Amino acid sequence: MAETEQPQIYLITPPDPELVRFPALLAAVLDAHEIACLRLALSSHDEDRIARIADACREVAHARDVAVVISSHVMLSERLGLDGVHLDDAARSVRAARKTLGRDAIVGTHCGASRHDGMNAGEAGADYVSFGPVGETTLGDGRRAEAELFEWWSQMIELPVVAEGGLTPDLVAELAPVTDFFGVGTEIWSSDDPASALGALIAGLRG
């Protein structure tokens, strides 16, 4: 349960990682921290580029026993040998993704700040839901997933939940008792040393 276990880190790639540099940066982060899962959150629609990035990241992650999911691309997930998919449309595509990928695949989905969408996603067969942004960010429609949503979810729902978007050390400390995972991405990749940046972000978890 989230109330008794320390949240795990769910790492999210930059939208357009450099193939030359990123695998080494990713390896450094995975070697420095215990990471539960990696999400390929790529902005490209070029399947060849997506495949090359996915191959490089999968090789790094699977060598360290870290599962890899890809945002939205259900069919590519299977073709590229990934572990599942992360959807961005709440509960709408969960059943179809589960049917396509099978029972053993990871199927998760982003539900914004909607408790209702999260519950529907769980009923549709999602392995986890993510809520966010939890902090200040230019992404989305301006609505934030507040701490009360995570508090309610941790008390009422067993399905694992991810807190993501605009994380700060203070938000990590505040949400740690009521979330299962922290989705960390843009918070660290602009740093010259993403592994150290992640360490600083989650320093409050080490108590």
The pTM assigned to this predicted structure is 0.95
Domains of the chain: 8-206 (3.20.20.70)
Q: What does the H/E/C string look like for the chain?
A: CCCCCCCEEEEECCCCCCCCCHHHHHHHHHHHCCEEEEEECCCCCCHHHHHHHHHHHHHHHHCCCCEEEEECCHHHHHHCCCCEEEECCCCCCHHHHHHHHCCCCEEEEECCCCHHHHHHHHHHCCCEEEECCCCCCCCCCCCCCCHHHHHHHHHHCCCCEEEECCCCHHHHHHHHHHCCEEEECHHHHCCCCHHHHHHHHCHHHHC
Q: What is the pLDDT of residues 94-140, one digit of tens each?
A: 999 999 999 999 999 999 999 999 999 999 999 999 999 999 876 66
* Chain segment 4-56, per-residue pLDDT in tens: 479 999 999 999 999 999 999 999 999 999 999 999 999 999 999 999 999 99
Q: What percent of the chain has pLDDT over 70?
A: 95
